[in-house]
Amino acid sequence: MQKPNIYLFPQLSDNYGYLVKLPHAKEAAIVDPSDLEMCEKILDLNDCSLSHILLTHHHDDHTAAVADLKKKYNAKVIGHELDDQLPNIDIPVKANEEISIFNNTYKIISTPGHTMQHICYFNQDYSILFAGDTLFSLGCGRMFEGTPELFWKSLSILKKLPKDTLVYCGHEYTHSNLLFALSIDPKNEDLITYGGWIKKQGSDARPTIPTELRKELNLNPFLRCEDEVFQKIYNSKDPVEVFKKMRLAKDNF
């Protein structure tokens, strides 16, 4: 068993794709490919072919390049067995199943909320999470299909992963998430400090991803719906209710 290298690359306007590859390997996997040109470029740069495509959910900005990549590289596409809007699935997976890619085990974590069949891929050997649009740095995905109950439950599952888990999410939304987080948690010194780093990354045109789960547990308001600070603001001790109101406030922010 070997630790995979993960190469983050930009796609479309603010999406991230991830190339997953063992050192010196000639084959790689890509998570959520939507930008064909960028996918081809990252594969060429790393001098490798594409054997697997991992999909977190069916939205176009995570899947648009699947058909072309599959045709060109004959890659196997992995996605939720019940997501009938996903294109060209070869390896259907379901919640709690474990799959092996390049000798690493990935657990399929079902995280309904953004979409009903959204899944995250968790590399148990090296604590790497491909979170799609469920969890972002300082935020979470919009609730397009799920309910607050389901979304909070999904986030609660992610909260229990090892604290050193590196979270690779689907978008660079950290700066706008920071502005919302600061609006409801303005006295949080750690958040202010992290904000400085986020702004620096932005002005240097660098990503803020991956983020460590430990940091998100402390700073991401959507993981802290049980925190007194937010229970007060949203006037409820029920984390589902707090989540519901916080998500709505962010949608209108």
- 133, 172, 185, 216: which one contacts Zn ion (CB under 5 A)? 133
CB-based burial label for 231 (10 Å; 0-12, 13-18, 19+) = middle
Site of tokens 């547990």 = 217
118 annotated active-site = no
Nearer to Zn ion, 133 or 185 (CB): 133
57 annotated active-site = yes
Residue nearest to Zn ion (CB): 59
Using rule CB under 5 A, residue 61 touches Fe ion: yes
Contact (CB, 8 A) for 32 and 209: no
175 annotated active-site = no
Nearer to Fe ion, 104 or 115 (CB): 115
Nearer to Zn ion, 115 or 123 (CB): 115
Using rule CB under 5 A, residue 133 touches Fe ion: yes
Residues marked active site are found at: 57, 59, 61-62, 114, 133, 171
Q: Which residues bind Zn ion (CB under 5 A)?
A: 59, 133
Contacting positions for Fe ion (CB under 5 A): 61, 133, 170
